[in-house]
Amino acid sequence: MTYDRRSVKMCVCHRKKFDAILELAQELDCKTVDDIIANDIACKGCGMCHPYVQKMLITGETRFVPGDVYVKTNS
């Protein structure tokens, strides 16, 4: 997987990078996007970051290829 400056790496509405969101999510034991929202960390705007943030919570990744979270597999 190749990342460049177009990588998705932040919640634009809150101007908060996924690294910072993940750190706070771990501190506050957030498991879902709803937990992130309930704790006022990020994700309360347009919602475009939600699938990325959900994947971040599962994998710990904080940079994504745009649209990668929407790619379906045949498995």
Q: Which is nearer to ligand FES, 45 or 66 (CB)?
A: 45
Near ligand FES by CB under 6 A: residue from 8, 36, 43, 56: 43
Chain position carrying tokens 């957030």 = 30
Please list, in sequence order, all residues whose beta carbon lies within 8 angstroms of the beta carbon of residue 3, skipping any fewer than 6 positions away.
63, 65
Near ligand FES by CB under 6 A: residue from 13, 20, 24, 69: 13
Please state the closest distance from residue 71 (CB atom) to ligand FES, in A.
19
Q: How far apart are CA 54 and CA 35, in angstroms?
A: 10
Number of shown-chain residues binding ligand FES (CB under 6 A): 10
